[in-house]
Amino acid sequence: MTHSMQTGVSGTARYLVLFEEDAADEGAQRMANVAGLRTVRDRDVAAQLSGELAGQADGVFWLDLGVAVVTAAADQIDALTREIAAHGPIALVERERTVYAISAPAPDAVPGEAGEQDFTWGLRALNAPESTATGAGVRVAVLDTGFDVDHPDFADRAVVTSSFIDGEDVRDGHGHGTHVIGTACGPRQPQVGPGYGVAHESEIYAGKVLSNAGSGTDGGILAGIAWAVQNQCAVVSMSLGAPTQPGEPHSVAFERCAKRAMDKGTLIIAAAGNESRRSAGVIAPVGHPANCPTIMAVGAIDADHAIADFSSGTVDPNGAVDVVGPGVDVHSSWPMPDRHNTISGTSMATPHVSGAAALAAQAHQGNAWELWARLSQTALRLPLPSTDVGTGLVQAP
């Protein structure tokens, strides 16, 4: 893909309906009563795809997150809006967005180049090889374009998979998902090339929320997050998003869902976006959903600890970069027969942070809020503006 995500906010014909805290069942019933919108209560999101829903339902709702995704007409949305004004169990309604994989080619990179015989530069930048933590026992959910389940570098690993893309199984027809899973959870001693996985003994949960063409929807992401929460994943890694405009507020629905996930023990980490052209004086704001305060937004640096030209930044109070990770010329797994590939983007920085989070979760007991604090407090401070790098470069425990 090119450096940039699709420009502009593109929506679908569906809506996110957020329910008040602990009022999901009541809210779903109220939505049916006032707007005639019937939803499937979904306790097994793996069985529910974000496209066609069971039976004749208008949508599906996730009890753990307290949110629904529905197809609705204008008069039904008006009815829900009136219900919100009455301060009932329905908190808000938002238009669903289309989201995209965030990556960029690195045509001059040479996989396994000098200095990377043992470990990639990204692993070394995190001091991951020196850490005694391996991620063992920690569940990491990577929500992306799927995974090459037959990849030889993962032959000895148990991988739990689920697809939330209608008509597509979890197999990665794009490449992006396999690459980010490799960085977060891949091997330290592959048969070919340098070790590239941060949390190399973690338990992998591969959720396909982006199609083989690299696009998806908010509903698919929420389905994947709910699946991760239900499976008690400590970390959710999302190298995806949609661009935002300066001053554009974050999604309240996603922010509330992120808080509810955190309260249940799941930290969500997402790519800040690749919309900047810093060499041309353009710094783009953090994209959706990384711009939510309770989703850890990750920017990208290169091997010289310089901010990547494409890395989005903190340009207004509506979205901040929280930390950075290695995101330029990153070597990792790729669907066979290529086996490996080297690409760039905040997508590549995000799984470095997610892997470090898994190591920290293994090394230190604590809840998701404490895990966030630990990653921020132990990050390597960089001589760069906090608007570009947040608290700094994440470090392995």
Residues annotated as catalytic (active site), given as ranges: 144, 176, 347
Distance CA(270)–CA(106), nearest Å, equals 21
Give the residue among 186, 192, 229 at the shortest CA–CA distance from 204: 186
Strand 267-271 with 235-238, pairing: parallel
287: amino acid identity, one letter: G
Q: Six-digit token pair at 85?
A: 């004004």
CA distances from 42 to 39, 54, 86, 89, 348 (A): 9, 10, 27, 18, 32
Identify any residues that bridge with 101 across adjacent strands, giving them in sequence order: 240
Distance CA(303)–CA(327), nearest Å, equals 9
192: amino acid identity, one letter: V
Distance CA(383)–CA(48), nearest Å, equals 47
CA distances from 23 to 63, 265, 326, 341, 374 (A): 9, 20, 41, 46, 32
